């Protein structure tokens, strides 16, 4: 079968393999933060900071590290997730009936041929150049828009949602009804889910930017993000005014004879009255795919919409099923991206910016230049080693490139344009924000500010705290958070829970109702968030969501919830939470080795937790939440005298894969833990059961190959109730 990770440059893997474990872990952590931030800015805020090409480079390096150092692969890694979390500030959530997947990328003809080779191996077909007549591909132009799913019941459009994180999206039904290309009623009374892409035509993008320029407003960056922002408007009338359009490309029809191919599905979509991009081709071998991509390389610029590549899919659905998928992408499809457009400009300055973990990232300030209709003035240079490797200097003429987005990366300096006035960039010895002496990790490229109280770090740490996965305070987005910090209304995480309606009402564009809504959201976060999410929200280095769950359960066995009565309204702080805080700080500072008792915590993570609770800026972070009246939900633990070993799945290792109707992935894994079992992410000889939902993919094949017991959702429920008996 093909590998479980997207293809990468072997040179990157070799470079990663040469790193020792500590260096690789540090680099992996930095990359994960950068990719997560890029995902948030692109998918959730519709305001990307880096180009597609820069994102792809970061992501490929991350995959190379995980290929060379498999221990770095965790459920929290960006390589294991699709897209970004739903924004959650305006729209309700929609759980997709089937996951909406992302695609791996190819950037050259050779990488397309390598994809074909992996498909052939996965299907047991002869390697090229031998013919494989039973293998055919469909090539479709890749639309630079926002992925959506449309639900039709008895022919009527009843619900539409964004992709979100691939499992859960945002309900944007009212806004999608304003998109003229999406019919309210199909040609037949069928019930189906339809996947597609909503986009803003180039002419509409130009019209809106012309109006904004006349009004003195900032211009939108590109049609993709302008279209995504338009679809997420609170007022459908605003969406309607933007004249969005759509193409559809996937059909999941209930109770109908099975469609055998992607080509047939596209024809069926047309017959139902749905918009299908006519610029696609079927019946292709991989050389035909390459010819299709070349035919559109220049011709695409004359299209009415943005496209940055070609999506290639195995045509036959039975072959797609056999190939399966990796954690974030199908093995039977790939996105070929055209080489980025390039322009020349000048580096006026290089300025270091401080991120959430304190890492100093050099950013090039450029002479503003038009790239495909958008003005670009900044580009990240990633790190000091990258600046040195590319030999980029202040005052250089440089080549920048566009790859889907107009926010660029710096490709190279134009060396023959130098006149001797250029200056080599040097990273400052002190943090440019707080003045603390910076530190360079030994053997790594990371240079960072070690001051946990640095304002630049705090701003992003607080964003992590209030975001999804943490305290999930709806309405506390970056614009609101920035104002709270600028006005000195928050100096710690606990200060969110001390805000008043009068303080919130004083924020820009906040009326009384907005302030009251945000205060209610803060109130909901104060009481009942799981302890694991409180721990994750603290932003302890190396503690991801899964580790936070395990740490919370471990703490609950040491500080038993049943020993403390539930708090009343007038009981602040919560005595149990106060005891948990005291115990975690004691263990972290006095006997950190004890933390390695927790599933998934080794010496490096234990040391990171110990540092967090030893540094003055963070040592009291949880204590402040206790004092602010935060009351977490208490994890369930066995009664006194009853060992968790009495659970029906004690000693059993369980892998959950595919889509389960009655459980999210997190809920299924929590159910395994509650029954005494151990949920893990990959199949091995030590696995006792594989729980296989729809689209189980390669894990199912591997379990069958190893002779591991496979159960469906009904069997999973029986295991939870009675174990293996």
Inform me whether the pLDDT recorded for 581 exceeds 80. yes
* Burial zone of 653 (CB within 10 Å; 0-12 exposed, 13-18 middle, 19+ buried): middle
**CA atoms 266, 267, 271, 273: torsion sign:** positive
Tokens in use for 15?
Answer: 């470079």
What is the per-residue pLDDT across 495-524, written as a single tens digit (0 to 9) for each?
Answer: 999 999 999 989 887 888 888 989 999 998
* Burial zone of 32 (CB within 10 Å; 0-12 exposed, 13-18 middle, 19+ buried): buried
Q: Phi, psi at residue 518, to the nearest 5°?
A: -65, -40
Inform me whether the pLDDT recorded for 641 exceeds 60. no
List CB contacts of 632: < 8 A, sequence separation 6 or more: 528, 529, 530, 531, 533, 534, 574, 577
Q: Phi, psi at residue 265, to the nearest 5°?
A: -65, -40
Catalytic site residues? 142
Tell the residue number behind the tokens 């290309």, with chain if given. Answer: 181
Task: Return the pLDDT at 212.
Answer: 60
Q: What is the Cα–Cα distance from 608 to 591, expressed in whole angstroms?
A: 13
Task: Return the pLDDT at 403.
Answer: 45
Domains, the chain, ranges and CATH? Answer: 10-80 (1.10.287.610), 93-337 (3.30.470.30), 341-424 (2.40.50.140), 452-637 (1.10.150.20), 645-722 (3.40.50.10190)
Q: How confident is the model at residue 172 (pLDDT cuts 50, 70, 90)?
A: confident
Once rounded to an integer, what is the mean pLDDT over residues 108-132?
93
What is the per-residue pLDDT across 28-47, written as a single tens digit (0 to 9) for each?
Answer: 888 888 887 776 665 555 45
Nearest to 554 by CA among 510, 512, 520, 587: 587
Q: How confident is the model at residue 84 (pLDDT cuts 50, 70, 90)?
A: very low
Q: What is the Cα–Cα distance from 380 to 360, expressed in whole angstroms?
A: 11
Task: Return the pLDDT at 571.
Answer: 59
Q: How confident is the model at residue 715 (pLDDT cuts 50, 70, 90)?
A: confident
Task: Return the pLDDT at 723.
Answer: 66
DSSP code for 693:
-
Task: Return the pLDDT at 86.
Answer: 42
Interior CA angle at 65 toward 61 and 66, to 5°? Answer: 120
Once rounded to an integer, what is the mean pLDDT over residues 127-155?
92
Nearest to 464 by CA among 493, 497, 504: 493
Inform me whether the pLDDT recorded for 3 exceeds 50. no
Once rounded to an integer, what is the mean pLDDT over residues 477-481?
83
Pick the more confident residue, 27 or 666.
27
Inform me whether the pLDDT recorded for 643 exceeds 80. no
Q: Give 161-176 as a DSSP string.
A: EE-TTSSEEEB-HHHH
What is the per-residue pLDDT across 668-688, written as a single tens digit (0 to 9) for each?
Answer: 777 787 777 878 777 888 889
Contact present, 533 and 472 (Cβ < 8 Å): yes
Tokens in use for 724?
Answer: 């293996």
Q: What is the Cα–Cα distance from 484 to 43, expressed in whole angstroms?
A: 24
Q: How confident is the model at residue 720 (pLDDT cuts 50, 70, 90)?
A: confident
Pick the more confident residue, 279 or 62.
279
Q: What is the Cα–Cα distance from 143 to 120, expressed in whole angstroms?
A: 27
Tokens in use for 424?
Answer: 């080599």
Residue 684, classed as helix, strand or coil, is coil
Task: Return the pLDDT at 192.
Answer: 92
Highest mean pLDDT pick, 74-78, 107-111, 719-723: 107-111
What is the per-residue pLDDT across 416-446, written as a single tens digit (0 to 9) for each?
Answer: 999 999 999 999 999 998 999 998 876 556 7
Pick the more confident residue, 341 or 635.
635
Inform me whether the pLDDT recorded for 475 exceeds 70. yes
Inform me whether the pLDDT recorded for 402 exceeds 80. no
Task: Return the pLDDT at 5.
Answer: 39
Pick the more confident residue, 17 or 578.
578
What is the per-residue pLDDT across 300-319, written as a single tens digit (0 to 9) for each?
Answer: 878 888 888 999 999 999 99
Nearest to 433 by CA among 454, 451, 447, 452: 454
Inform me whether the pLDDT recorded for 12 exceeds 70. yes
Three-state secondary structure of 107-133: CCHHHHHHHHHHHHHHHCCCCCCCCCC
Interior CA angle at 255 toward 250 and 261, to 5°? Answer: 40
Q: What is the Cα–Cα distance from 578 to 624, expressed in whole angstroms?
A: 10
Contact present, 455 and 433 (Cβ < 8 Å): yes
Mean pLDDT is lowest, of 50-54, 120-124, 371-375, for 371-375
Task: Return the pLDDT at 352.
Answer: 92
């Amino acid at each position: 079968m093909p590998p479980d990770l997207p293809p990468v440059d072997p040179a990157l893997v070799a470079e990663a393999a040469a790193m020792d474990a500590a260096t690789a872990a540090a680099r992996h952590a930095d990359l994960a933060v950068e990719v997560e931030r890029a995902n948030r800015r692109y998918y959730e805020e519709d305001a990307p900071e880096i180009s597609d090409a820069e994102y792809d480079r970061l992501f490929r390096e991350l995959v190379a590290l995980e290929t060379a150092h498999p221990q770095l692969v965790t459920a929290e890694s960006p390589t294991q997730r699709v897209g970004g979390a739903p924004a959650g500030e305006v729209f309700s959530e929609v759980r997709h009936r089937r996951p909406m997947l992302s695609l791996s990328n190819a950037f050259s003809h050779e990488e397309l041929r390598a994809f074909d080779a992996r498909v052939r191996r996965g299907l047991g077909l002869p390697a090229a150049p031998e013919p494989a007549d039973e293998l055919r591909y469909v090539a479709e132009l890749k639309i630079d828009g926002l992925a959506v799913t449309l639900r039709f019941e008895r022919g009527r459009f009843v619900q539409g949602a964004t992709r979100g994180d691939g499992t859960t999206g945002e309900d944007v039904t009212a806004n999608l009804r304003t998109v003229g290309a999406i019919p309210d009623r199909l040609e037949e009374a069928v019930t189906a889910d339809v996947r597609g892409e909503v986009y803003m035509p180039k002419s509409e993008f130009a019209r809106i930017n012309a109006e904004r320029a006349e009004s003195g407003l900032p211009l939108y960056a590109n049609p993709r993000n302008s279209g995504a922002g338009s679809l997420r408007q609170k007022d459908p009338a605003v969406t309607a005014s933007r004249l969005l359009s759509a193409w559809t490309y996937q059909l999941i029809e209930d109770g109908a004879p099975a469609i055998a191919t992607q080509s047939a599905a596209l024809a069926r979509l047309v017959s139902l009255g749905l918009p299908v991009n006519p610029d696609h081709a079927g019946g292709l071998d991989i050389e035909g795919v390459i010819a299709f991509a070349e035919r559109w390389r220049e011709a695409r610029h004359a299209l009415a919409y943005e496209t940055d590549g070609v999506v290639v899919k195995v045509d036959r659905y039975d072959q797609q099923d056999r190939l399966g998928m990796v954690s974030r992408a199908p093995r039977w499809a790939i996105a070929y991206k055209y080489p980025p457009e390039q322009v020349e400009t000048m580096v006026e300055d290089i300025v270091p910016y401080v991120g959430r973990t304190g890492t100093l990232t050099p950013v090039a300030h450029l002479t503003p230049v038009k790239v495909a209709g958008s003005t670009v003035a900044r580009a990240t240079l990633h790190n000091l080693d990258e600046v040195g490797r590319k030999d980029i200097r202040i005052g250089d003429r440089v080549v920048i490139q566009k790859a889907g987005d107009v926010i660029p990366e710096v490709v190279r300096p134009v060396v023959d344009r130098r006149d001797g006035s250029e200056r080599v960039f040097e990273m400052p010895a002190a943090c440019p924000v707080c003045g603390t002496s910076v530190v360079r990790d030994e053997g790594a490229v990371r240079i960072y500010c070690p001051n946990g109280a640095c304002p630049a770090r705090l701003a992003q740490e607080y964003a992590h705290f209030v975001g999804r996965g943490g305290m999930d305070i709806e309405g506390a987005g970056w614009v609101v958070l920035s104002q709270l910090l600028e006005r000195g209304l928050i100096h710690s995480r606990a200060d969110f829970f001390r805000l008043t309606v009068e303080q919130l009402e004083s924020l820009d564009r906040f009326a009384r109702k907005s302030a009251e809504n945000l205060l209610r959201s803060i109130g909901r976060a104060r009481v009942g968030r799981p302890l694991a999410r409180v721990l994750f929200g603290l932003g302890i280095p190396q503690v991801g969501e899964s580790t936070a769950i395990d740490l919370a359960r471990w703490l609950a066995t040491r500080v038993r919830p049943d020993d403390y009565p539930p708090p009343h309204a007038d009981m602040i702080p919560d005595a149990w939470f106060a005891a948990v805080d005291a115990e975690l700080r004691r263990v972290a500072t006095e006997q950190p080795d004890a933390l390695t008792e927790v599933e998934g915590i080794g010496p490096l993570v234990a040391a990171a937790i110990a540092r967090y609770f030893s540094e003055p800026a963070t040592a009291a972070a949880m204590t402040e939440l206790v004092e602010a009246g935060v009351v977490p939900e208490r994890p369930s633990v066995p009664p006194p005298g009853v060992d968790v070993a009495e659970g029906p799945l004690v000693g059993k290792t369980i892998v959950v894969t595919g889509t389960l109707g009655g459980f999210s992935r997190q809920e299924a894994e929590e159910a395994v833990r509650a029954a005494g079992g151990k949920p893990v992410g990959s199949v091995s000889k030590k696995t006792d059961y594989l729980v296989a939902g729809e689209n189980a993919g390669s894990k199912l094949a591997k379990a069958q190959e190893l002779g591991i017991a496979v159960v469906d959702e009904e069997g999973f429920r029986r295991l939870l109730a009675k174990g293996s008996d």
